[in-house]
Structure 1
Amino acid sequence: MRTLSTGTAPVAATSANPARGLRRYWPRPKSVAGQIALLVVAAIVATHAVAALALFALREPWRAEARPGVAANRLAVIARMLDDTAPEGRDAILTAAKRSVPSLHLGTWDGTPPQVESERLREHPIIERLRDAFGRDLALADLGPDSGSDDPPVLHLGLRTPAGAGLRATLPDETLGPPKRGVIIFTLVFMATTLTLLTVWATRALTAPLAQLAGAAEAFGTRRAPPPLPRRGPEEVLALAGALDRMRARVNRLIDDRTQMLAAISHDLRTPITRLRLRAEFIDDEQARERTLRDLDQMNALVEAALAYARDERAADGGSDKEKPLIDVASLVQTVCDDFSDTGADVRMEQARHVLIRAHPEDVQRAVVNLVDNAVKYAGSARLSVGKSATGVVIAVADDGPGIPEAERHAMLQPFVRGDRARNLNDASGFGLGLSIVFAIVEAHDGRLALENRVGGGLSVRIELPGTLKAAGEDRRPAAVSERANVDG
């Protein structure tokens, strides 16, 4: 893990200023429970308000008989009562109906309906409603052909029931409108939309400090500048933000102290190792002298590896993309292959695609050298490839060694951790810092390091670095193959 200096002042639970903006005039609860309760109550109040408006818009008029459909139904009921009553009792019913429904202007009618009903009555929707409500044959006569001049328009009708009861009535001549489905649908849609927007807004306002806090926690320990911790929000979130900031400061102090201690010890060990080396040269026993010098070389290598690890830990926090030069990854990896090949190691490039990225060449070269060195030590050979990915460049180092068990891969990335016996045949071959340094360099470039065992045996290590700017040319043959072709030609 690298050192990360945040530069963010500690956040206290009391750092929020409640008297700001609308909160000065409309204070809200400071706790999460209170804000959730306020959200629920606000949703219920909004629902009741919209429902009340809908009921007000769809309410029945005070005089329901003024509506054409209601008037036709009531006239049909009165006509059926007269039809089912003996002639001597019809006057009483008609008198009571006049008092109950004065808007119909009821009266007796002694006329005779025409044999052929007028076209106006046959196609009139109110008449159809009247016939449907009566349920029997009903003879009708239009007593007011010029009633269209009335304001409001009315129908003057004469009715003759099957039992011979005659009745004269006046109905409002208005268009029968369908039920207000549009108003109902609009009300429901408006209610759903309003509640959804209110809920989404309130939820986002409630969870925004949590998302900000999660982003700050996720950025901790990486090169990315951490977002500021939330300074406004519920009391619980502010308390958690303050605790996280204090914990971040403690972790940074611990990492700084560890790195400084490691660098100091490694640096101070150089002097006694040098003195011991000079004294070992005067040992008369040649075998004892060689063993002592070999142990001192091992100690010196350990010191150098620890210093390199400490430098990489410190360098992981510095450097922006503007400070990184533009490098050709394929050329850099080819240089590493040539260096190892010059020493007699079986290292070759299998695929090289020229990809330009911004990175620190020394760090990338050190990472590739460490991977190739591990492959040569534990497997005897290494095969490298450079390719282009969707977000950057991929450097792969494969070998035919014993591989690393899946359960040990995470631990192998920690400093001073070495693999099992299969990868440690020589006790003096390493100190467990190679993969740790590679991991620190890759993370410093916002990259990704993946270790996978190959199907046919061996280990494949992939370094994925972002920030591809340009890919020049197609995949070319390895350099050794090209040189061999030139010689044969």
Structure 2
Amino acid sequence: MSPVRTASGPAEAAVPTAATTAPPRPRHRAWPRLPWPRPKKAAGQIALLVVAALLAAHVFAGMTMLALREPWRPDERPGVAATRLSTVARLLDAAAPAERDGLLRAAAQGLPTLRIAPWDGTAPSAGQGTAEEEIGRHPLIERLRDGFGRALPVTDLSPNHDRGSTGLLQIGITTPAGARLRAVLPDDFPRPPAQGPIIFTFVFLGVSLTLLSFWATRALTAPLAGLAAAAEAFGTAEEPPPLPKRGPEEVLALARALDRMRTRLLRLLDDRTQMLAAISHDLRTPITRLRLRAEFIEDERAREMTLRDLDQMNGLVESALSYVRDGQGTPGEGETTLIDLASVVQTVCDGFSDIGAAVSLERTRHVLVRGRPDDLQRAITNLVDNAVKYGGGARLVMGPAGSGDRPGVAVEVLDDGPGIPDAERSAMLQPFVRGDRARNLDAASGFGLGLSIVLAIVEGHGGRLRLENRPGGGFCARIELPLAAGRSGETGAGKAA
């Protein structure tokens, strides 16, 4: 990511905010704001979510219970009517014959929906036997006999036994003691409690509340995911996503703090680059003058030592400046393009083969990555140079990397050198740390910036650098980069020209 310069000075940088980096979005009609105040704190929004879910659950359950409640007139329920009629039949059966008329009148007044009345024992003549057998299998009659507790003859008194048109069951009852009465029952089956609707109601309630909770929780955590993506993309070749403008007050405060921190970091990086560039430019002139003066030293050994010291000074300045430039990018040189990574790897191999180094490309994949060609070539060159320097040669292998949702490509640089101890591997990625620390600076050929530059370039392209000792001996430096587009293909092993 290249810092953006402002008119106030070259050393100042302004962070790209959501308004400057994100493409203009089409304007939509804004939704009207809710009339009730919404909590601004995350704790208040979570508490509101919990209370709203509980309230919705109680309201929904209450409405369901109200819809499935028992009717206000229980006499209209078939089971209740059959049970009460069996009670009246037991009372008449146990009462004296002289008291039965009074009991019937009292039962008729107390239970008007049953239409209880005396019965003389006459019944419709057509199909009487068949009708009695049919009415005996009716669930209400079975409930009536169960309530009476003994055998109870029941006669169907419906006209022509047509009960479907009236929806009523007219029956005559003769008790074992000789008491007779007639009554009217609703021609319906006694239904068990409505368990199916209750179960469906609670299942639907649980599923809907679960989905609502997931949706509300995601709405609360979406700004946090945006912050994480913006922080992850900072300092890479990817365009940073805009910071969230809505959400809890804590998230908005964190977004503002991240925006200010990003501005300070970019300004700090730009100041460091400018400072090192100025130092490099200012030191080149006195180093050149010292080199010219050293040519006139008569003592040959003193002249060689002086020129070598000057070369080391110039190399140190150039390496430090290259580390900052390649790691962070310089203004105007941060443009990324689509690159055929196989051609970059082949170019590096050809360069080393031309000077007689034992470098070969064993397998390649023609894939496209997005990045800066010079930086990627510099990173691969540094790894190959280390392999040649410490392992006597290098073998390069390209293959797939990453996962299914984010495929990538890997470039492995293999050598047969001594490798790096596990305890020192992470330190090797720090600037100015060399693998040959036991040697003095006079005998060293580098300044410990090669792997640091590779790490900065790879991370700047959204990739990853892995350093591993090979099980059979040797060392493996692996660069993993995300794919940009296109499909990959493999070619056979071949020696670099």
What is the TM-score when the length of structure 2 is the normalising length?
0.83
Aligned 8 A contact 2:237 2:371 in 1: no
Distance across 1 between alignment mates of 2:427 and 2:103: 100
Tell me which residue corresponds to 1:362.
374
Give matches, 1:371-382, under 5 Å. Answer: 371-382=383-394
Tell me which residue corresponds to 1:334.
346
Give matches, 1:407-446, under 5 Å. Answer: 407-419=423-435, 421=437, 427-446=443-462
Deviations 1:391-438 (A, max 9, x none): 343221111222223343333223223336479998522112111221
1:29 aligns with 2:43: no
CA shift for structure 1 position 90:
4.9
Aligned amino acid, residue 476 of structure 1: A
Distance across 1 between alignment mates of 2:427 and 2:399: 28
CA shift for structure 1 position 254:
1.9
Distance across 2 between alignment mates of 1:452 and 1:393: 18
Aligned amino acid, residue 107 of structure 1: A
- Provide the secondary structure at the position in 2 that maps to 1:455: coil
Tell me which residue corresponds to 2:59.
49
Aligned amino acid, residue 376 of structure 2: V
**Bigger shift: residues 459-468 or 190-199:** 190-199
Quote the RMSD (CA, aligned, Å): 3.3
Distance across 1 between alignment mates of 2:196 and 2:60: 15
1:469 to 474, 477, 486: 486
Aligned amino acid, residue 275 of structure 1: R
Tell me which residue corresponds to 1:485.
none
- Provide the secondary structure at the position in 2 that maps to 1:118: helix
Task: Tell me: CA distance 1:187–1:353, structure 2 relative to 1, closer, same or farther (3 Å).
Answer: closer
Aligned amino acid, residue 23 of structure 1: R
Aligned 8 A contact 2:158 2:171 in 1: yes
- Provide the secondary structure at the position in 1 that maps to 2:398: strand
Tell me which residue corresponds to 2:473.
457
Aligned 8 A contact 2:92 2:179 in 1: yes
Distance across 1 between alignment mates of 2:439 and 2:132: 108
**Bigger shift: residues 131-140 or 148-157:** 148-157
CA shift for structure 1 position 178:
5.2
Distance across 1 between alignment mates of 2:424 and 2:386: 16
CA shift for structure 1 position 331:
4.0
Tell me which residue corresponds to 1:138.
152
Distance across 2 between alignment mates of 1:139 and 1:77: 15
Task: Tell me: CA distance 1:366–1:166, structure 2 relative to 1, closer, same or farther (3 Å).
Answer: same
**Bigger shift: residues 471-480 or 86-95:** 86-95
Tell me which residue corresponds to 1:8.
17
1:306 aligns with 2:320: yes
Distance across 2 between alignment mates of 1:422 and 1:83: 117
1:217 aligns with 2:231: yes
Give matches, 1:259-298, under 5 Å. Answer: 259-298=273-312
Task: Tell me: CA distance 1:355–1:268, structure 2 relative to 1, closer, same or farther (3 Å).
Answer: same
**Bigger shift: residues 414-423 or 218-227:** 414-423
CA shift for structure 1 position 70:
1.7
Task: Tell me: CA distance 1:287–1:340, structure 2 relative to 1, closer, same or farther (3 Å).
Answer: same
Aligned amino acid, residue 35 of structure 2: Y
Aligned 8 A contact 1:317 1:444 in 2: no
1:230 to 219, 244, 268: 244
Aligned 8 A contact 1:352 1:478 in 2: no
Distance across 2 between alignment mates of 1:34 and 1:174: 54
Q: Percent same amino acid among aligned pairs?
A: 62
1:68 aligns with 2:78: yes
Q: Any gaps of 5 or more consecutive residues in structure 1?
A: 11-19, 481-489
CA shift for structure 1 position 367:
1.4
- Provide the secondary structure at the position in 1 that maps to 2:362: strand
Distance across 2 between alignment mates of 1:304 and 1:333: 24
Task: Tell me: CA distance 1:127–1:416, structure 2 relative to 1, closer, same or farther (3 Å).
Answer: same
Tell me which residue corresponds to 1:153.
167
Deviations 1:109-135 (A, max 9, x none): 453897776243033232222223333
**Bigger shift: residues 340-349 or 256-265:** 340-349
Aligned 8 A contact 1:353 1:475 in 2: no
Deviations 1:161-219 (A, max 9, x none): 33444332221223545543443244224423442343233323322222222222222
Tell me which residue corresponds to 1:169.
183
Task: Tell me: CA distance 1:293–1:75, structure 2 relative to 1, closer, same or farther (3 Å).
Answer: same
Distance across 2 between alignment mates of 1:400 and 1:383: 9
Tell me which residue corresponds to 2:419.
403
Distance across 2 between alignment mates of 1:264 and 1:274: 16
Aligned 8 A contact 1:396 1:460 in 2: yes
Tell me which residue corresponds to 2:9.
none
Aligned amino acid, residue 311 of structure 1: R
Distance across 2 between alignment mates of 1:317 and 1:214: 26
Task: Tell me: CA distance 1:420–1:132, structure 2 relative to 1, closer, same or farther (3 Å).
Answer: farther
